[in-house]
Every structure is written in C-alpha cells, then in structure tokens.
Amino acid sequence: MMGRTIFIDPGRCIGCQACVSACRECDSHRGKSMIHLDYTDEGHSVASLPTVCMHCEDPVAPCAEVCPADAILVTADGVVQQADTTRCIGCANCVNACPFGVPKIDLQAKLQMKCNLCYDRTACGLAPMCATVCPTGALFYGTAEELQAERPGVQIADTFTFGATEVRTGVAMVVPADKVQWPVPGGLPVVEINGKDVRR
Amino acid sequence: MTADPRADDPRRAVPLDPSLAPPGTRAFRDAGGIPADRWHADQNGETLVPTHCCFCGVQCGMYLRVDRGGKVFGVEPRNHDINRMRLCPKGVNAYQQVNHPDRLTAPLMRRSRDEAFREASWDEALDFTVSEVKRIQQTYGNDAFGVLGGASLYSEKTYLVGKFARVALKTRHVDYNGRLCMVSAAGANKLAFGIDRAGNPFSDILLTDCLLIAGSNVGECFPVMTQYVWGARDRGASLIVIDPRETAIARTADIHVALKPGTDSAFFTSVLNVVIEEGLTDEAYLAAHTTGWDEVRAKAAEYPPSRGAEICGVPAEQIVQVARTFARAPKAMAWHARGIEHHSQGVENCLAVINLCAATGHIGKPGAGYGTITGQGNGQGGREHGQKSDLLPGGRSIMNAEHRRQICEIWGIEESELPPAGTSMMEMVWQMQRREIRGLIGICNNPFVSLPNYGVVKEGYDAAEFHAQFDFFLSETAVNAHVVFPVTTWAEDEGVMANAEARVVKHNKAQDPPPGVRTDTWVMCELARRLGAGDKFAFADSRAVFDELRIASAGTVNDYYGITYERLEETGGIAWPCPTIDHPGTPRLFEDGRTYHPDGKIHLQVVDWHPPMDPYDDEHPMSLTTGRTVAHYLSGNQTRRLGGLVEQTPRPWAEIHPSHGFRNGEPVRVVTRRGSEVFPALVTEAIRPDTVFIPYHWPVPTAANALTIDALDPRSKIPEYKVCACRIEHAEKIDEVPAPPVAPGHVAYPEAQVSRTDPRPPTSPQGRGTSERG
Amino acid sequence: MTEPPEAAAAATGAPAPPDPDGAGVPLSVTFRATVAGVVVSVLLILAIVFGSRLLENFDSALLPYAVATVFLAFGVAYRYTVWISAPGARRLFRQGWRSFFSMANFRKAPTALPKMIATYLGFQKFLGARSHARWAAHQLIFWGCVLASLITFPLTWGWFTFTSGSGSGPGYEMRIWGFKIIGFDSLNVLGWLMFHGLDIAAVLVIPGACYFLWRRMKDRGAITGQRFAYDLVPLIALIVISVTGLLLTFSSIFLHGGGYEFLAILHMVSVVFTLIYLPFGKFFHIVQRPAAVGMQLFKYTGLQDQEIFSCRRCEEPIDTGPYVENLRGTMRDLSLDFDEWAEYCPRCKRVLRGSAYLSHVKKGFK
C-alpha cells in the first residue's frame, strides 16, 4: 500500500456522485470522468459503491501486464497511470482483464482512460478531486494513521480475493476492526446471478 | 465508414471502426457537455476567487477558477470551515451556469401573450413595465400589483425586493418562494423561541450523543452536511431518521422510522408521551425555562404509543425505542427539514419536535439543540429582511406599530405610506385567479414548477394583465411573461447569504456579467427611479444596499449591524445576532437558557394531530409525497441545463414498492384529484408500500406539482407538498421531459440535453450509475 | 525515420514466436532478439551493397547515416522481438497476422484492410477524435517524416542516384538501383520539388512539432506525468533536424556555403542520434502502430462472423468471442488466474464486488 492513498468505505457512501462530477474537473483528465459509481443493491436499497483505480501492487497492475502495447506505465510511487496516448491501440484488454472493472475506453479515439489518482494533484501534495469533494468521507485520501485518527475503530484491508487468487492493491478498503484479517471478497466466484444460484 | 457490401449479411453492416465494448466503459461525455476541444486546461495563469455555492442552505465554500480573460471556467474546492473542501455534484457543476449558452442576454418583451417574444432594449422593456405598473395601479389600486421574490437572491436583494414593493410600488402584495420552503419552521421558531433560526451550528452535531433527523433526506438535499452526521457517528452518536423512504442516511441509521406521510406530529407527540411515562423528562429545565408545559403534557397523554403506532403505521416498540434513545442521551439534537414542514400542519410538526427537545432539556448546549435545515441557498437570510408579506427588515412585524415607525424612519417615508401586511405566495396566485391582483413582477422564482397544483397556478398567471420576470435562464414561468429581464448569476455580483446555521457568508464577484445583462439591484433601482421613487433607491451596488440593511436591522433580533463585508472576508462567516462591530456573532442560541421572548422562556405549544387535507378514499388510497433528488435544485431551471447533472438524473420517476406488481422502468400513471401523469416506475423496497414518491424539479407534463394539492398550513401558509392522496395505474407511454425554454432563435444547449429524452428511470433515487448512461 | 512497411519487414524477419502453451523451454528472449537484430542488420547491409551496385553508387559522405540506419535496423528488430515476446502482444500479434492472411476474410471484405490502413495509419482518424488540433499537427509531422524518409533512406543507401547528362545540369536523370526512372530539368517545377523535397518536409515538420512542444509547456493534461527524455526529446530532435536541414539550404543559397560544414555536422549528429534513439523511446510507436490495424482486423473478423460475447450476468455484449478467448489465454499465460472474471462486464464485476462487500464485510455504516 502506498503511504498516502485513497481509502474507500462504501458504508459511508450516499451515492450522490459528487466524485463523478469532480473527476471531470481534474486537469489531467481533460474534462472526462474516470470514476465509477454503481448502485449495487438495485431494487432493495440505495447502497452504492464508488470505484477508483485500485492501483494493484501484487500482481503489479494486471491491466499493464495484459497490455499488448506496453502503454500502461506504473510509476515509482506505485501509481498505475492511464494509457500512454502514443502507444495505446484501443484493444480493450485492460478493460476486460481488470479485476475491479476500472479502465474505460474511447473507441473512436482508440484510447484507454482510467483513474490516475489525479496525478497532477497528488504529485504535488494535493488530494485527488474525488476524495477532496466527497461529502461523506466514503473516499478518503491520506495515510492509514490519519484515517484512524478521524475514525476510531476502523481498520483497512488492501487484499481482495478473486476465487483462489489474491490481489493486493495500493488503494484500500475500510473494514470493521474485527474483520481486518480477511481479504475483502472481490466478487469471484460468482454464487448467484439474477437470483439464480450458479455454483457448479 | 461502413463494411464491404459483399459481407455475409448486407442488412447487418459491420462498421470498420471499433464498435464493441462493455457497457459503461465508453460513455465519455466531456465536461458535462463541453466538447473535448473546448476544454481548456492551459497553464496560462488563473485566479481563484473565493466564494460560496449558489445552491442549498449549507453554503459550501468554493473557489471559482477565472482565466486571464476574466471568465469563470472551473471550480476548485475550498477549505472553508462549513464544508472543509467537500462539494456535492450540484456545487461542482454550478460554475457551468455562468458562461452557459442558454443565458439570456437581452430583455425579452411582448405586449400580449398571443405574440412571440422579441428582444428589446433595456429602455423599452423598463418603460413598458413602468407604464403597465402605472396603468394597473391607477385603474385598480396600488394593491392590484404584486411582487414575488426568491430565496436564492443575496440578502441585499431580498431586502431590496421588500423595499421596492412597499416604497416604489406601494403595494401590500409582496411575498417570496421561501413560502414554499421552510416557513413552517420559521413560524414554529417564532412561536416557541421568539427568534427564527436554527439553535446550533453544524459543528455541534459532532458533539452530540444522539442525532435525530426528521423529514430530511440529508444525503441528497444537503449532501455536504452528511460529513457532520457521519462525524457524530464516528464519535459514537446514535442516529435516528424519520422518513417514509429509506434514504441514504436512513439506510444505515440505528433507528429508521418509516412512518406514513402526514403523521409526524402524532409520532412526536407519541414519543413525548413515552418520555413522560418513563420519567425521562428534564423537569428542572421545564420549570425554569418553559411555559405551557402542563397543557402540552395533558395533550401528550392522549397519544400513547399504541395510538401513535396506528396513526403512523410503524411498530409501537419503535416509538418507545426512539423516546428512550433520544431522552436518555446525555446530549441529543434534532434537525428537521421539508419532510415535516411541507404540511397543512407544518408549524405543529415543528412545534412537536421543539416540545420533545424542551421536555428532555436538549436545548442550547454544545451538542444538544434543535434546528431546521434550510433548503434554499439564502433560505435563512431571504426570510429575514422584509420580502415576506408580514415582515419588515430585521425580522420586524409589519403589524407592529413600533416596528412600522422604525422602518418608515429609516426609509424616509410617512407611516401612512407603508402598506399593511399582504398575503402569501399561493394566496397571491389565487388572488390573480380572482383578478384581485392584475400585475406581477417575479424575481428569482419559477412557480410554474415549484407551486402546487399547476392547473391553478397557470390559470392565475394567465389571468394577470401584466407579468414581468427576472431570471438569467428563461424559466417555465418567464416564458409565460410579458417582459423578461436578463439578470446576473451569483458569480457576477457580490453579496451575502445566511446559511442554515444563520451564519452570514459573503459571495464574491468572479466575473463581469455578459454584455446586456444587469444586476437585479440595478433593475429594481431603475424601475423605482422610473416610478418616481429614485431618491429612495440610489444604490450603486450591493455594498450600498448592505450598509442600509445593517442599519435597518440594528437593534432587532436579526441584528446584522456588526457584520461588514470586511469582517466577513476576514472571518469566513458570522452568525447573527451580531450587534456591534467587535461582536463575535452568535453561533449557538439559548446558552444562558433565555429565549428571545420578553420573558426569556420557551413558549411550548399544544399540538394535536389531524389527517392531511387531501382525504384518502377507495379511488385514492395511497400517499403521494414529493421531494428533491441530489442532482437537481428547486424548479430545475438552473440544473436541468447542466450536462453533468442531466446525465446523472435526466428525468423524474415514480418510486413505488415492488408489492404493486410493476416492473422497473414500466410506465406508471399516478392519479390524484388534480390530474394524472405517467412516469417510469423505479421499483424499490426502500419506500413504504402505501407511498409513492416523485421528485419535483421538472415542468409539465412531468411535473410532480401538477398532482400535488394547494392546501396550506393556516399559520405558515406553506403548501402541503409532502402528502396527498393518489392511486397508481398501468399506462402505455411515459410522458417525455420537455426541453428547458430558451430565448427566441435559440435551442437549449444540445450537448447538455443528450440524455433528457431517455425514458428509463434512474438506477437509484440518487441518479443513474455511471455505467447506465445512454 | 522508419515507416510501417519497414516495421512489417522487421516483423517477418523475426523468428516465429514460441509455443504459446509454454511446452518446451523457449530460447531466452534476449538471445532471440539479438539474433533477430543481427539477421535484419546483415540483410540491410546486403541490401545496401547490392542496391548500390556493389557500392558503386554509394556516397561515402553519407556513410555515418548509413551506419546509423544499420544500428536502427538492429534496434528495431531487437525491440520488436522483445515486444512481441510478451504474452499480450504475442497473442494479438498472432491473431492479427492470422486475420491478415485469412483468404476467407479477404473474400468477405477485400477492402477492409486497405481502408483500415488508410484511416488508422495514413490519416490517423482516431487522433481527430482526441483533438482536432493534435490531429492536424500530427499529420504535418507524419507526412513530413514520410517524405523525408522516402528521399533520404534510399539516398543514404546509395539506391538513388541523380546523374547529369551534361555534367552540371540543368538536365538530370534519377536512377534507382542504377535503372533510370525519370529525367527532369532541375530548373522546372518538378526539378525544384526534387531538390527541395527535404526542405518541404522540414517546413511540414516544424510547425507540427512546435505545436506539440507548446502544448507540452501549457496543457496541464499533457504536463501530468510528462518525462523529458520520453516526451520532449523527440520533439526537440525533430525540430533540430528540420531547422538545421533548412539552414543548410539557406547557407548554400544565400551565404555561399557559410557555416555549411558546422551545420552539416550538427544535422548529421541530430539525425544519427534520432535514428539510434528511435527503437527505445517515444518513436517506437511508429513501429507499434500497425498492431492497431491487426487488432482491429481481428475484432472485425469476429464481428463479421457474429461471434459476440455477452456478459454472463447482465447479458450485455462485452466484445467478440475470439477476443475474449484470446484475452483469457493471455491472462493464463501471465498467471492471472481469475481469467474466468473476463466473462463478466466491468460493471457486473463492480456490482458483484459491491454486493459481496455488503453481505460479507458490512451492510452499512458499521
């Protein structure tokens, strides 16, 4: 995990999409929003989940690994950058390989785009746009110590399970203190689709 | 480029360009509608102008980014202590209004509603307006002309609206759209405390042990305030939410009371019953600081939890649980908003909450208290300085002879010249219908969307012989007017607003208005001059008005005298009362246990529940309730033009429980005694089965307010938006959202309107998920 | 500056990729890349020797340039081999060529490939979707470089000769590999164009490169994560080459050769540097770009066969079936063992993760 990073707490998220609008205001995104906001409990509750790039550390950036054009650079500070415009061929490998469903693609421009942790801001000490404006702290930018000072009794988890595979990330989730040892479930294996049990 | 004609299936031409990617990975709409080429992020030097958001009553601080050419082009979060850099989606997108292509830049005019608008010169439009005012007033009397103001105006301008109506037009008929917002709370506050504002600052929420939020979808209507709610919970506070819908804050609350709409006073009186029965009252506090307790206690005895449970449709245990949690907490706070105020007994509902707070002694302490969350940017400030039909500047009463004398002295008029109290906004519309009011100037409001029972509103406005409207976008109301004056946005003028904490904050001017646009102040002063009252309206700018406002409020409860622009710029906001230049302001009220009544006591009032005004019957068995969604603001005239917000929530919907057998997105006709409209169904378990919710930001034929009832609270005159009887039916076709009106020869900025005609409901009440956008 | 055709040549010169299933021990990538580099360099040297009629037409003054092109050939072949040895590139490379050589494809859509090459490689339509200004600037640079390469490379290798029938003009004839192609008068328009082709190229390149340089100073999006060696050096190199080239002409026409020698050396140094830098920096995209056509052809083939793969949860299309299969293979090659996850669309991945968090970690605030 990086020193200063984003911590995501879906339990605090009110689904207002301030992050979605704010993301557009970051100069490095050229007016395009990279963050995802999904309502994960549709029809039952208003629960929501913001998804920024998790900046995978182990394995290092699956998106960069599957890229046929070496277009995705991981900088020394652990930030997985968006595709290099000169190299990206728009094949969408990263879009479909990312276990968190993060990258977006502009088919006409043959260009992948994704959250780069507002590199223009974080590189000079400012928080990313989404975590700056988030009205609830569902997206928090800082160190783990800063987070725990503000929210006594929370722990963080930076490992996700996808079936038998574990992915350790640079961005972490907030979890209740008694569940800190758990890797956070990543959603795979899928046990149910549209109410039907699909376990084989 | 298309595929080769000899491809397998000529009907299904495969495009040569890449065309396949998963949903939600390729919807790039730039900067909320500005094409990528016009997105400037050039490092040419920029200025950050500190100001506040123009939208809700939280008044978040923000910086507007101004380029070298002096144009606002972006927003930067600001570490102001109200919001600590946080912004909601409306706030982030607010700057896009300033240089928006839909802006009005020349006065529009026509002599009759049969004609089309044409652009006119300022002189022509002003002269025509003045001649119509004179004609109507000479024929039908001064009171035949009315003025309706707005609570999104700076306080200076709201002061000017009241003065303009009473001094320049000499009419009693002046009111404002805050009448549709929080006047019930204002009425209750005045009755109980003798002062009309929230008792505690937001920061007190962080100190509380129990936070009760009644009828407020904080997560959507005041998103940035959520940080205080969560902050309190981080520190161990319990959260009680009273709301028929499971909103974002209700979803995770310790107790969520999903009561039936229109039963709030029964609920709170029942809670008070339990508090009394279980001996949880603070008798010492009641004895020392209240009057009327015996009567209130006697009335509460009639509301045991069993009765409360029956009326409200909630389990009796929940009422007991709320009572214990709230009363046993060392420090507890209650905040409420439109959910309990928009009722024909809105004042009683608020009084019931005050009774509960007073009975448990949770008043006037750090972390313990009571407040209303104002919905409009200047909802607090807008009601203080005399644009309300019964109030004069400084919260003075127009019925009080002493108050009248003071204001006449300040304004330099004879007391006989000052008109008596007028009527409320909805009543003025009824008077227009009856042709008692024949001319109207509307400033900063859009009643065609915001007033209940659209049919009556349209009829009333159509009956007016002359109607002028001030706005910066052509609203649904303005499009029905004779004259439209193009005025400034909030970023093109300076002024103050008071937020929900009664903290006065200063908005700064970030750019010059576009050519052809004038400030509301200038237009009002110019009209006054042409009406022959120029000497009373010699204001060069907001600062001059504010200086008069300070003097006009000096010595009153709403004392602004010690607040100056300079102090506001130095401090980031001062809460009134602030009587002297060295006074620090009053963030928390009643700390010494004294209220602003002459006896210093809280005047408790007896509250008795009665059913809503629109009766249920077999034809109309369900409750229709209305409210906001996070991406839009009030009548939507501003937010329905901003691409990012339209994309988030392109259209209204009807929120219904799955038990009615509708599938998500299916057309559902909502029928009330006033009309019927077809919306896409948003089927969710997060609403009571007997309740339907429709957001109200859109105009007919998708207007919630074409269905709502124009019944008023007898004291506050607030309409009963939050409950009326309805039924739902299957329907064929969903009503389409019309494009926002624009000046003749223009089209509503197409880039921002792309998703408007999409018939699907949002994924969740907060809007479309980022992958569900068309 | 190389062009796509050369990239293709380099590609065919590369050894066959190893068995994708990893059976047997593949030769080390470095070794293979080195072999590829040496083979291509030797082929180029032979081409120079024979193309210049056993160096008869070879201009010894251009020797440094020729040597640099040999290094360039080595570098490109080496880098290319390393590049396509990575699983992602290797699999797409194979699929791309498979679609390219498919007779069935050609019969179904004979014009698809030429059209793709024209729009993606020639007119670079996708750049227009990013920004019109960048597209215009890139087109200037692109065509300038194409023109310059077509003139200079054969000249350097001694493949072109211009001979004068009368000793010193104005009648000239142009020969390739010694065969006469056209004769022209150096004083007419065609002649002027022939002799000033490089100046025209420079005039095209300079404004394009200057626009990009200006943008790299001003545009915050471009500045973010910008690296001097990767992003600015190529632009500076292009500008230096073009300006010194123009100054050479200026010197010979107006200064009677004043400063010519210094300029010639500066020009040569900058060109040699650029050629050697090409495989290792930003310019490598010139070699990589044709992969976009291969990728697109592969997906286009799948689409034509109506092999659309839909998300297993929401049933919205993800991409073509062969593409998803190819991606899953790539993920397995890389030991990313959640390749099954590629059968779900990104939104469903997020929603499923969100539901898992709600049900297994915490439902709400606590």
**Per-residue pLDDT at B180:** 92
Whole-complex ipTM: 0.95
Q: Which of C112, C125, C364 sits opposite B252 (nearest CB)?
A: C364
Task: Return phi, psi of residue B692, to 5°.
Answer: -120, 135
The whole-angstrom separation of Cα B213 and Cα B332 is: 11
Helices H / strands E in chain C, number of each: 16, 5
Q: Which residues contact B143 (CB under 8 A, 6 or more apart)?
A: B171, B172, B173, B419, B422, B436, B437
Give the gap in angstroms from C-alpha C92 to the nearest C-alpha of chain B.
Answer: 16
Summarize pLDDT for C83-110 with one digit per residue, the tens. Answer: 988 888 999 888 888 888 888 878 888 8
**Per-residue pLDDT at C223:** 85
Asked if B18 and C299 come within 8 Å (Cβ–Cβ), the reply is yes
Helices H / strands E in chain A, number of each: 6, 12
Question: Least CA distance to C299: which residue of chain A?
Answer: A91
Q: Which residue has the tokens 């506070």?
A: B237
Q: Which of B241-255, B332-346, C176-190 has the lowest mean pLDDT?
A: C176-190
Question: Least CA distance to B6: which residue of chain C?
Answer: C108
**pLDDT > 90? residue B2:** no
Summarize pLDDT for B668-691 with one digit per residue, the tens. Answer: 999 999 999 999 999 999 999 999
Q: Residue C217 has which token pair?
A: 């100073």
Bridge partners of B146? B440
**Per-residue pLDDT at B1:** 37
Asked if A137 and B230 come within 8 Å (Cβ–Cβ), the reply is yes
Q: Which of A93, A103, A179 sits opposite C88 (nearest CB)?
A: A93
Supply the DSSP string of A26-43, one letter for each residue.
-GGGTT----EEE-TTTT
**Per-residue pLDDT at B640:** 95
Q: What is the mean pLDDT of chain B?
A: 93
Contact (Cβ atoms closer than 8 angstroms) between residue B259 and residue B622: no
Q: Which amino acid is at B189?
A: N
Q: Enumerate the residues of chain B whose CB falls inside 8 A of the CB of residue C132.
A: 37
Asked if A68 and C292 come within 8 Å (Cβ–Cβ), the reply is no
Q: Residue B586 has which token pair?
A: 């009053």
Q: Which residue has the tokens 């503000």?
A: A150
Q: Which amino acid is at B723?
A: V
Q: Which of C344, C345, C358 sits opposite A40 (nearest CB)?
A: C358
Q: Residue B661 has which token pair?
A: 């057998």
Contact (Cβ atoms closer than 8 angstroms) between residue B625 and residue B704: no
**Per-residue pLDDT at B35:** 53
**Per-residue pLDDT at C3:** 35
Q: Which of B6, B16, B23 sits opposite C347 (nearest CB)?
A: B23
Asked if C308 and B20 come within 8 Å (Cβ–Cβ), the reply is yes
Question: Least CA distance to A97: which residue of chain B?
Answer: B22
Bridge partners of B332? B210
**What is the number of other CB atoms lying within 10 angstroms of the CB of residue B93?**
29
The whole-angstrom separation of Cα B732 and Cα C296 is: 43
**pLDDT > 80? residue B192:** yes
Count A/C contacts: CB-CB distance under 8 Å: 206
Query: How open is the CA angle A77-B227-B326, to the nearest 5 degrees?
Result: 145
Q: Enumerate the residues of chain A whose CB falls inside 8 A of the CB of residue B15.
A: none
Q: Enumerate the residues of chain C whose CB falls inside 8 A of the CB of residue A89.
A: 288-289, 291-292, 295
Asked if B767 and A110 come within 8 Å (Cβ–Cβ), the reply is no
Give the gap in angstroms from C-alpha C113 to the nearest C-alpha of chain B.
Answer: 9
Q: Residue C164 has which token pair?
A: 């004068």
Q: Which of A64-73, B443-452, B622-631, C220-229 has the lowest mean pLDDT?
A: C220-229
Supply the DSSP string of C216-276, one letter for each residue.
HHHBHHHHTT--IIIIIHHHHHHHHHHHHHHHHHHHHHHSTTTTHHHHHHHHHHHHHHHHH
Question: Least CA distance to A195: which residue of chain C?
Answer: C313
Asked if A59 and C351 come within 8 Å (Cβ–Cβ), the reply is no
**Per-residue pLDDT at C165:** 62
Q: Which of B30, B248, B765 sits opposite A32 (nearest CB)?
A: B30
Q: Residue B592 has which token pair?
A: 């010494």
**Per-residue pLDDT at B142:** 96
Burial class (CB in 10 A: 0-12, 13-18, 19+), C97: middle
**Per-residue pLDDT at C166:** 61
Helices H / strands E in chain B, number of each: 23, 28
Max distance between CA atoms of chain C, in angstroms, equals: 95
The whole-angstrom separation of Cα C318 and Cα C323 is: 10
Chains that touch C (3 or more CB pairs under 8 A): A, B
In this prediction, residues B351-364 reach a mean pLDDT of 96
Asked if C218 and B44 come within 8 Å (Cβ–Cβ), the reply is yes
**pLDDT > 80? residue B719:** yes
Summarize pLDDT for C58-92 with one digit per residue, the tens. Answer: 888 889 999 999 999 999 999 999 998 888 899 98
**pLDDT > 90? residue B508:** yes
**pLDDT > 90? residue B724:** yes
Find the DSSP H helices in B554-653: 565-571, 643-648
Chains that touch A (3 or more CB pairs under 8 A): B, C
**Per-residue pLDDT at A188:** 83
The whole-angstrom separation of Cα B683 and Cα A195 is: 16
Reported as a pLDDT band with limits 50, 70 and 90, residue C363 is confident
**Per-residue pLDDT at B20:** 85
Q: Which residues contact C327 (CB under 8 A, 6 or more apart)?
A: A66, A93, A96, A97, C339, C342
Q: Does A90 touch chain C (CB under 8 A)?
A: yes
Contact (Cβ atoms closer than 8 angstroms) between residue A16 and residue B85: no
Share of chain C above pLDDT 90, in %: 43
The whole-angstrom separation of Cα B531 and Cα B554 is: 29
Q: Does A181 touch chain C (CB under 8 A)?
A: no
**Per-residue pLDDT at A190:** 80
Chain A residues 155-184 within an 8 A CB cutoff of chain B: none
In this prediction, residues C261-282 reach a mean pLDDT of 91
Q: Does A92 touch chain B (CB under 8 A)?
A: yes
The whole-angstrom separation of Cα C323 and Cα B20 is: 11
**pLDDT > 60? residue C133:** yes
Contact (Cβ atoms closer than 8 angstroms) between residue B299 and residue B607: yes
Q: Enumerate the residues of chain B whose CB falls inside 8 A of the CB of residue A13.
A: 248
* The total number of residues written for chain A in this structure: 200
Q: Which of B227-236, B410-419, C328-337, C356-365 has the lowest mean pLDDT?
A: C356-365
B192 membership: H or E segment, kind and range = helix B183-193
Q: Which amino acid is at B42?
A: D
C133 membership: H or E segment, kind and range = helix C132-156
On the CB side of C79, CA atoms within 13 Å amount to: 22
Summarize pLDDT for B296-324 with one digit per residue, the tens. Answer: 999 999 999 999 999 999 999 999 999 99
Give the gap in angstroms from C-alpha B502 to the nearest C-alpha of chain A.
Answer: 21
Chains that touch B (3 or more CB pairs under 8 A): A, C
**Per-residue pLDDT at C59:** 85
Coil, helix or strand at residue B50: strand
Q: Does B43 touch chain C (CB under 8 A)?
A: yes
Q: What is the 8-class DSSP label of residue C164?
A: E
Q: Enumerate the residues of chain C whose CB falls inside 8 A of the CB of residue A70.
A: 83, 86, 89
Give the gap in angstroms from C-alpha C16 to the nearest C-alpha of chain A.
Answer: 17
* The total number of residues written for chain C in this structure: 366
Q: Residue C324 has which token pair?
A: 């998803």
**What is the number of other CB atoms lying within 10 angstroms of the CB of residue B68?**
10
Q: Enumerate the residues of chain B whose CB falls inside 8 A of the CB of residue A150.
A: 234
Q: Does B8 touch chain C (CB under 8 A)?
A: yes
**pLDDT > 70? residue A197:** no
Summarize pLDDT for B84-131 with one digit per residue, the tens. Answer: 999 999 999 999 999 999 999 999 999 999 999 999 999 999 999 999
Q: Which residues contact A102 (CB under 8 A, 6 or more apart)?
A: A36, A51, A52, A53, A54, A63, A114, A115, C346
Q: Which of B519-523, B562-566, B739-743, C52-56 has the lowest mean pLDDT?
A: C52-56
For the four alpha carbons of B624, B625, B628 and B629, in that order, the dihedral sign comes to negative
What angle do helix axes C132-156 and C189-218 make, rounded to 10 degrees?
130
Ramachandran sector of residue B292 (left: φ over 0; alpha: ψ -120 to 50; beta: rest): left
**pLDDT > 80? residue B34:** no
The whole-angstrom separation of Cα C366 and Cα C356 is: 15
**Per-residue pLDDT at C111:** 84
C182 membership: H or E segment, kind and range = strand C179-185
Question: Least CA distance to A87: which residue of chain C?
Answer: C285
Share of chain B above pLDDT 90, in %: 90
Classify strands B47-52 and B495-498 as parallel, antiparallel or unpaired: unpaired
**Per-residue pLDDT at C25:** 36
**Per-residue pLDDT at A124:** 83
Q: What is the 8-class DSSP label of residue A151?
A: S
Asked if B227 and A18 come within 8 Å (Cβ–Cβ), the reply is no
**What is the number of other CB atoms lying within 10 angstroms of the CB of residue B42?**
18
Supply the DSSP string of A99-125, one letter for each residue.
TT---EEETTTTEEE-----HHHHTTT
**Per-residue pLDDT at C20:** 38
**Per-residue pLDDT at B286:** 96
Q: Enumerate the residues of chain B whose CB falls inside 8 A of the CB of residue A42.
A: 664, 684, 763-764
**Per-residue pLDDT at C5:** 36
Q: Which residues contact B447 (CB under 8 A, 6 or more apart)?
A: B148, B177, B425, B429, B457, B461, B477
Q: Enumerate the residues of chain B whose CB falls inside 8 A of the CB of residue A128.
A: none
The whole-angstrom separation of Cα B427 and Cα B436 is: 11
The whole-angstrom separation of Cα B89 and Cα B76 is: 13
The whole-angstrom separation of Cα B142 and Cα B139 is: 9
Q: Residue B395 has which token pair?
A: 């919260």
Q: What is the mean pLDDT of chain A?
A: 90
Q: Which of A64-68, A99-103, A183-187, B170-174 has the lowest mean pLDDT?
A: A183-187
Q: Enumerate the residues of chain A whose CB falls inside 8 A of the CB of residue B220.
A: 14, 16
In this prediction, residues A13-17 reach a mean pLDDT of 96
The whole-angstrom separation of Cα A152 and Cα B470 is: 51
Strands (E), B587-674: 602-603, 622-627, 654-656, 667-672
Q: Enumerate the residues of chain B whose CB falls inside 8 A of the CB of residue A20.
A: 89, 644, 648, 770
**pLDDT > 70? residue A198:** no
Question: Least CA distance to B662: which residue of chain A?
Answer: A43
Task: Return phi, psi of residue C223, to 5°.
Answer: -65, -30
Summarize pLDDT for C1-47 with one digit per residue, the tens. Answer: 333 333 333 333 333 333 333 333 356 888 999 999 999 999 999 99
Task: Return phi, psi of residue B669, to 5°.
Answer: -90, 125
Give the gap in angstroms from C-alpha C355 to the nearest C-alpha of chain A.
Answer: 6
Reported as a pLDDT band with limits 50, 70 and 90, residue C51 is confident
The whole-angstrom separation of Cα B242 and Cα B322 is: 10
Summarize pLDDT for A51-60 with one digit per residue, the tens. Answer: 999 999 988 8
Give the gap in angstroms from C-alpha C192 to the nearest C-alpha of chain A.
Answer: 35
Peptide bond into C170 cis (omega under 30): yes
Reported as a pLDDT band with limits 50, 70 and 90, residue A177 is confident
Coil, helix or strand at residue B429: helix
Task: Return phi, psi of residue C313, to 5°.
Answer: -100, -55
The whole-angstrom separation of Cα C36 and Cα A146 is: 54
Q: Which residues contact C345 (CB under 8 A, 6 or more apart)?
A: A101, B22, B23, B24, C311, C313, C314, C316, C318
Summarize pLDDT for C169-226 with one digit per residue, the tens. Answer: 567 777 888 788 777 777 777 777 777 889 999 999 999 999 999 999 888 888 888 8
